[in-house]
Amino acid sequence: MSKYIITSALPYAEGVPHLGNFVGSILPADVFYKYIDMKGEDAIFICGSDQHGTPIEIQAIKKGITPKELAESVHEKIKEAMARFECTFTYYGKTDSEKNKETVYWLFDKLYKNGFIVEVTDIQPYCNTDKLFLADTFIEGTCPFCGYEKARGDQCENCGHLLNPTDLIKPHCRICGGTDISFKETKNLAIDLKKLQPEIKDFIDDRKGNNWSITAINKPLSYLEQGLKPRDITRNIDWGFDVPMEGFKDKKFYVWFDAVIGYIGITREWDEGKWEQYWKSKDTKLIEFMGKDNIEFHTMMWPGILIGSMDNLVLPYTIKAYEYLTARGLKFSKSNGIGMNVENSLGVMDPDYLRFALIYRLPETSDADFSIDLLLEVVDKIMNDKIGNFVNRVLTIAKSNSEHIGRIEMSKDYGSKIKSIIEKYKSDFESISLREALHDLIDLAEEGNSLISGSEPWKMKKDLSDTEVKNRFSEVMGNLIYTVYAIGVLSYPFTPKASGDILDYFGISGKPKLGLLDAGINLDYSKEVKPIFKKATKEQIEKLKMFSD
């Protein structure tokens, strides 16, 4: 039996993630994990806060606190927000933990002894005003590839290109804002990706058919064609893990290095006795979700670490990278204050509505704009009108006519249609086409709405003394009630609260399993029927306007 490790790119503890971060990594990972759990698979969902790096240093300096204080404070806020969003991590940890530090040192030692750590001489920016070397994210300038004016020295947030500080046009120091910058030589340690290139290419060629995003395939292949180079794993910074090697003890490990290793470190933090059962099992499938700006780290550097350790660690099976969710035509950005974050959005709407709308707009193959108008349309016309109203109408009719409803089961023709939709739902989940799976759920409601409109069971109520009409009424209601039941089961990955509310009418509590679809159905006709979804209120609309132009 397969095991699954499901991971999401770790949210950076500089600030609470915005909705673009959330929909590009944690939310689809959570939706997929919930489906895998419904299947009854042996799976763990591992995530945590990425707590090191210079952006945290910069924010801490501005706030007059230590980087650790900031990282811990934001970590707790992220944990709370994710819990409110009903994310069901097996464990949500952090990278600045003793267990992750131990894991980083262990893998560094493995890589060094195996000959994959090399010493390099870098040209690193030095701020003549602040009298210090600038880590890559302490320097900012214009991207030479796309012209974005706030690109960092390690990567352009806008186009995703990996950069070196010397690539930037018109660079300036992010601490003092000055442009009096020199470039000086300094020694660092690097992972020798050039030496690992053949194995990394084999890894990509072997795995890219396993539902990888097209971008996750094309980007690394492009870099491989150019030829990989050693990638620094140390920097002249103050916040991070010390480098345990003579000649480099004044440096720290680069944040990307301990962040990707954090997947293992956080698993060890969860259960030291079980982590190897997942990370060293040939039966394990490692499924990783991320935004497209994380592709390079997860398709080249991270596999390079795992391969270079020579310790039979599991390599990624599927890399699902999403495009950007944009707001007002721009990418959501914590630093630029664009778009709603996960905290303030929960102050406007319940998580089910946001989860549904975000997956409905999931940027699987191209950037997708997420507007307030779109959110309201999804909430009012799809969640409320198509799904909520259908569930409410069926349960209300069933409650007032329970004595005329026999065994709850589907007729052959109608059942064939519903089972076909359910099979497509499963198939779409297996291929990690989450937006399509959500549309399958909507299709179930539409099929039910079509039946209820065509059969008009409220009219049949008048002639239930007629045996033929009574049998037809019972058959129609059996079809409709099963459809409501199936929506209750299959909505769990997307809208866990609504799923629980629906299944409560059938006497089912806790996390549902797919096997329930083949079980006998018992509807509790005595329960009061309440709305599953509602339209957005005037108060909610007014709150949403705070985030519009």
The predicted model gives 114-131 an average pLDDT of 91
pLDDT exceeds 70 at position 205 = yes
Burial zone of 78 (CB within 10 Å; 0-12 exposed, 13-18 middle, 19+ buried): buried
Alpha-carbon gap, residue 456 to 467, rounded angstroms: 17
Strands 151-152 and 169-173: unpaired
CB 322 within 8 A of CB 11: no
Phi, psi at 132, each rounded to 5°: -155, 155
Tokens 């909705």 belong to: 19
- The pTM of this model reads 0.92
pLDDT (tens digit per residue) in 361-416: 999 999 888 888 899 999 999 999 999 999 999 999 999 999 988 889 999 999 99
Phi-psi region of 456 (alpha: psi -120 to 50; beta: other; left: phi over 0): left
The answer to whether domain 3-114+256-346 and domain 372-518 are alike in fold is no
Rounded to the nearest 10 degrees, the angle between the axes of helix 412-430 and helix 434-455 is 170
Q: Which listed CATH number (2.60.120.380, 3.40.50.970, 3.40.50.620, 3.30.43.10) goes with 3-114+256-346?
A: 3.40.50.620
3-class secondary structure, 461: helix
Q: What is the pLDDT of residue 159?
A: 86
Q: How is domain 372-518 classified at the CATH fold level?
A: Isoleucyl-tRNA Synthetase; Domain 1 (1.10.730)
C-alpha 251/C-alpha 235 separation (Å) is 6
For residue 75, which of 98, 96, 104, 46 has the smallest C-alpha distance?
A: 96
Average pLDDT, the chain: 93
Domain residue ranges of the chain, discontinuous segments joined by +: 3-114+256-346, 372-518
Q: Residue 258 has which token pair?
A: 């301990």
User: Which pLDDT tens digit goes with each residue over 206-251?
Assistant: 999 999 999 999 999 999 999 999 999 999 888 999 999 999 998 9
Residue 332: how many other CB atoms lie within 10 Å: 24
Residues 123, 153: contact at Cβ < 8 Å?
no
**Greatest pairwise CA separation for the chain in angstroms:** 93
DSSP string, 427-441: HHHHTT-HHHHHHHH
Q: What is the pLDDT of residues 430-447, one digit of tens each?
A: 999 999 999 999 999 999
